[in-house]
Structure 1
Amino acid sequence: MNALPLLMVTLVASQPATSLEYTLDKHRFELGFRPRVASVEGAEDARAASVLLRAGARSHWSDTLSTLLEIDTVALGWEDEFSNGENFNGKPVIPDVGGIDLNQALVRYSPTNRLQLSIGREAVNLGNERFVGTNSFWQNEQTLDMAGFKVDFASASNVSYRYVTNANRISGDEAGKYLSPSDSNFEQNNGLRPAQFLGDHGHNTHLLFAEFKEWDYSRLQAYYLAIDIEDAPALSNDTLGLRYEFKGRLNNLRTLAHAEYAFQERPDVDRNNMIRYYNIGAGLGYRSSEISLNIETLGENSGTSFATPLASLHDFNGWSDQFLITPDGGLRDYSIQYIWRKNPWKIDARYHVFHADDNNARYGQEFDLDLSMNMSRNGTLLLRYADFIADDDNYANERRIFLMYIYNL
């Protein structure tokens, strides 16, 4: 696959010098790919194979105008041995879908050094992606059709706003409103695709996010998210929150801590209830090692739980994806994380214990492990392992394994 960038460079080099200079100065072409195999062992078994190929072009047409274009192509293997949200066959869901997709198509206009206006399709990650993110672990990213702006102020702070009309979700454009009669859950859902598996969600959404980075060791983030989802109104919500992060040193120790609080209304479910979220954690690092403790609570109120429909959901509450939709009783995730780094290796180990927020009932526990190796400046080999052990009859034991190579993504 490395032959394609070489071919592109060869073709450009054959042009006159003035053309070459313009091309290299004003445009940057990118190529990335990610082959992956995945397996699930549980009440039902599944396996999947997929390859993502992403081609992109970043162009600066003037000092104030730039564009971004990304096109993704995903090919699948073992298609009859897993469900993916677009198609269901009774196997567990591994949400990688095939096809060609316009991932990003964005126009940016910067009339000043501190103001940037944007319109188009964008891969949006706000903060740690707990509320808005691309879910980019999967082969088809979540992107937003939007218009907005970003303003830089003070020495290193910024505020951004986006008006969103559509969320292009990881299930892909072919995951429309109606299921195929051959799908295993056709009758169960009366021929309608469950809202969480729709490939597109129409939106009338406002995202306001501010980040303050005026201190050496601290960062403060504030956000207001008015999420109105036309195709899944039950997931619509208004969320207001604040997050503080600290990273410092104590002699030879690295210190880190964070605290986040948010409250939410879900008017299409219960207009009178306020639901709370909080996330508190702290850790220490020494040389190649780092250990941290964390408590995250997605609360509930009278059976209505906290919702995060635009989040990078795979990144939170365990990599086996048991809690992509918050249970009606809410969720409390107690976790401990250990990270070890020594180039080219990295180990990331996590242990979670999951409880209900309303009555403290235990849902289960999970052990997660990432083992990664940097094989080149742009290439990484990753093995991801997740083992969920259920303590509640509504869940089942499940083990998931992913092996992938990531190049320039």
Structure 2
Amino acid sequence: MRIILIMSLVLITTKVSADIWDYDVAFRLRHQQVNDHWLPDATATTLLGRGEVHWQSEQDISFLVQYDQVWAVDKEDYNSIAYWNKHSPIPDPPGGELNQLKFDWQFAANWRAIIGRQVISFNNERHIGNAAYWQNDQTYDALSLRFNNSFDLTIQYSYVDKVHRIFGDNSRSTVPKSDYRYQYNPVRSPEQWGNHQHQSHLLNAEYHPAPQLTLSAFAYLLDNRSLPAWSTDTLGFRIEGAEKPNKLKYNYHAELAWQQAGKNHPEQYHAWYLAAEVGLQYRSHRWDLGYEYLGQDNNFGFNTNLATNHKFLGWADIFSRYSAMGGVEDIYLSYAGRNGKLRWKLVGHHFSDVESHSDIGYEFDFELAWRYSRKLEFKLLAANYQTRSGLATAAATQYDLSTWMLSVAYNL
């Protein structure tokens, strides 16, 4: 909020000299069902409505305000975290909030400054992202500086003051009186809060030595004032590239990161992250084989609390329940194809426990999407998780779960 106030003062003192005003609206209607062998099944039908106003000046200055409102047909049929019940979680709570409010200034040939509530995403969003799969985005009150020489080098730095998480502004530090937990303990766990106060520094650099090759280095120093156990220092390196010597295209990426407890973390630990993927593409068909390793130390697993976690470790979201997780290994095989406006993807996962090397479980994911036009898209997603031994630190991994989701989106 402090950064938002500073931004407002800057806007008041800036000459708004006309130029280009844009207005836009969007929506996403979603129906999701979960068949959970641990918690009662869940059904969520939600509608996201988004409106935004964008202003662009002749002096390379722009302003964006974006407001989101989510409606739910019956919030009693699923656990949205903000409105808690005993059903399986689907973190799409009803409510409205200011999603973005940012001031963007191109103040030099290669430099931009962005201040206010904004989307921040780096690389493939494995560490920092906006979790756009859910109805409520994850956005940041931040000051960002970006250098781009228009050729081969991009450097981005953000100071984050506050994180607006997917659980929404209504998921406060105390539960409402309508919540059955109120009579026992009205205090909500910080893991479920909709907003976290930060004093965090994010630095990411990308270098393109060749058109099909990207080298990245990053340092994410998270100082989470609301939940110190999520304060981490993460340093890493990533390489991503492709080659097409003939009709076949070869894709690859690899990443290595090291994480330790941040300065206000209550404990000490060190954990490694490793990812590697190789792919083969022929025309509109692509196959990928990948491996992901999230290590652990002193009972703390490698933490990715600001990531777009839905994109990783399976779409059933077994491993993104925002609770303590141990180390996890994931070997996955995927196939993606496209035919005209229709595209599809199938992914198979094998999860293992880093400590015991035992099988945690298996998952099969499927996605089918039809883009009717540039703005209108229909999508079907399904995921089936089958447990084996599960993880001792995460009860959700010890039970089977299947889910499917159907959505129609306009201009999102």
Residue 406 of structure 1, aligned match among 402, 405, 409:
409
Sort the Cα spacing of 1:212 and 1:392 in 2 relative to 1 into closer, same or farther, 3 A: same
CA distance in structure 1 between the aligned counterparts of 2:267 and 2:257, rounded to whole angstroms: 18
Q: 1:164·1:206 contact (CA, 8 Å) conserved in 2?
A: yes
Report the counterpart of residue 14 of structure 1 in structure 2. none
Q: CA deviation at 1:186?
A: 4.9
CA distance in structure 2 between the aligned counterparts of 1:338 and 1:232, rounded to whole angstroms: 38
**Aligned positions of 1:149-298 closer than 5 A:** 149-153=145-149, 155-186=151-182, 190-267=185-262, 268-271=265-268, 273-298=269-294
Residue 109 of structure 2, aligned match among 96, 109, 113:
113
Q: CA deviation at 1:63?
A: 1.8
Report the counterpart of residue 21 of structure 2 in structure 1. 27
Residue 62 of structure 2, aligned match among 51, 58, 66:
66
CA distance in structure 1 between the aligned counterparts of 2:192 and 2:324, rounded to whole angstroms: 17
CA distance in structure 2 between the aligned counterparts of 1:248 and 1:144, rounded to whole angstroms: 36
- Off by >4 Å, runs of 4+ in structure 1: 184-188, 325-328
Q: Indicate whether 1:84 and 2:84 are aligned.
A: no
Q: CA deviation at 1:329?
A: 3.0
Q: CA deviation at 1:196?
A: 2.1
CA distance in structure 1 between the aligned counterparts of 2:256 and 2:220, rounded to whole angstroms: 14
Q: Indicate whether 1:379 and 2:382 are aligned.
A: no
Sort the Cα spacing of 1:187 and 1:129 in 2 relative to 1 into closer, same or farther, 3 A: farther
Report the counterpart of residue 7 of structure 1 in structure 2. none
Report the counterpart of residue 333 of structure 1 in structure 2. 330
Q: Indicate whether 1:354 and 2:351 are aligned.
A: yes
Sort the Cα spacing of 1:299 and 1:97 in 2 relative to 1 into closer, same or farther, 3 A: same
318-327 vs 53-62, which moves further: 318-327
Q: CA deviation at 1:157?
A: 1.9
Sort the Cα spacing of 1:326 and 1:243 in 2 relative to 1 into closer, same or farther, 3 A: farther
CA distance in structure 2 between the aligned counterparts of 1:171 and 1:326, rounded to whole angstroms: 14
354-363 vs 201-210, which moves further: 354-363
Sort the Cα spacing of 1:173 and 1:326 in 2 relative to 1 into closer, same or farther, 3 A: closer
CA distance in structure 1 between the aligned counterparts of 2:301 and 2:183, rounded to whole angstroms: 28
CA distance in structure 2 between the aligned counterparts of 1:373 and 1:200, rounded to whole angstroms: 34
Q: 1:347·1:369 contact (CA, 8 Å) conserved in 2?
A: yes
Sort the Cα spacing of 1:256 and 1:327 in 2 relative to 1 into closer, same or farther, 3 A: farther
62-71 vs 255-264, which moves further: 62-71
CA distance in structure 1 between the aligned counterparts of 2:271 and 2:75, rounded to whole angstroms: 40
What is the number of equivalent residue pairs in this alignment? 385
Q: Indicate whether 1:103 and 2:99 are aligned.
A: yes
Q: CA deviation at 1:327?
A: 5.3
**Secondary structure of the corresponding residue to residue 209 of structure 2:** coil
Q: CA deviation at 1:328?
A: 4.3
**Secondary structure of the corresponding residue to residue 172 of structure 2:** coil
**Aligned positions of 1:25-64 closer than 5 A:** 26-43=20-37, 44-64=40-60
Q: CA deviation at 1:65?
A: 1.4
- RMSD over aligned Cα, in angstroms? 1.6
Q: CA deviation at 1:310?
A: 0.5
CA distance in structure 1 between the aligned counterparts of 2:349 and 2:181, rounded to whole angstroms: 31
**Secondary structure of the corresponding residue to residue 250 of structure 1:** coil
CA distance in structure 1 between the aligned counterparts of 2:388 and 2:183, rounded to whole angstroms: 30
CA distance in structure 1 between the aligned counterparts of 2:295 and 2:347, rounded to whole angstroms: 22
| Partner AA of 2:231 in structure 1 | S
Q: CA deviation at 1:195?
A: 2.1
Q: 1:73·1:101 contact (CA, 8 Å) conserved in 2?
A: yes
| Partner AA of 2:134 in structure 1 | W
Q: CA deviation at 1:180?
A: 2.9
Q: 2:291·2:329 contact (CA, 8 Å) conserved in 1?
A: yes
Q: CA deviation at 1:181?
A: 4.4
CA distance in structure 2 between the aligned counterparts of 1:326 and 1:150, rounded to whole angstroms: 33
CA distance in structure 2 between the aligned counterparts of 1:186 and 1:360, rounded to whole angstroms: 40
CA distance in structure 2 between the aligned counterparts of 1:154 and 1:407, rounded to whole angstroms: 32
| Partner AA of 1:377 in structure 2 | R
Q: 1:29·1:58 contact (CA, 8 Å) conserved in 2?
A: yes
Q: Indicate whether 1:140 and 2:143 are aligned.
A: no
**Secondary structure of the corresponding residue to residue 191 of structure 2:** helix
Query: What TM-score results when the alignment is normalised by the length of structure 2?
Result: 0.90
**Secondary structure of the corresponding residue to residue 229 of structure 2:** helix
CA distance in structure 2 between the aligned counterparts of 1:135 and 1:342, rounded to whole angstroms: 27
Q: Any idea what the Cα deviations from partners look like across 1:282-325, whole Å, max 9, x if unmatched?
A: 01011221101000011012322100111011111111111114
CA distance in structure 1 between the aligned counterparts of 2:82 and 2:190, rounded to whole angstroms: 12
**Secondary structure of the corresponding residue to residue 210 of structure 2:** coil
Q: CA deviation at 1:168?
A: 0.4
**Secondary structure of the corresponding residue to residue 76 of structure 2:** helix
Q: 1:269·1:304 contact (CA, 8 Å) conserved in 2?
A: no
CA distance in structure 2 between the aligned counterparts of 1:389 and 1:192, rounded to whole angstroms: 34
Sort the Cα spacing of 1:315 and 1:180 in 2 relative to 1 into closer, same or farther, 3 A: same
Sort the Cα spacing of 1:174 and 1:326 in 2 relative to 1 into closer, same or farther, 3 A: closer
Q: Any idea what the Cα deviations from partners look like across 1:132-154, whole Å, max 9, x if unmatched?
A: 11101111100000012101136
CA distance in structure 1 between the aligned counterparts of 2:276 and 2:291, rounded to whole angstroms: 5
| Partner AA of 1:225 in structure 2 | Y
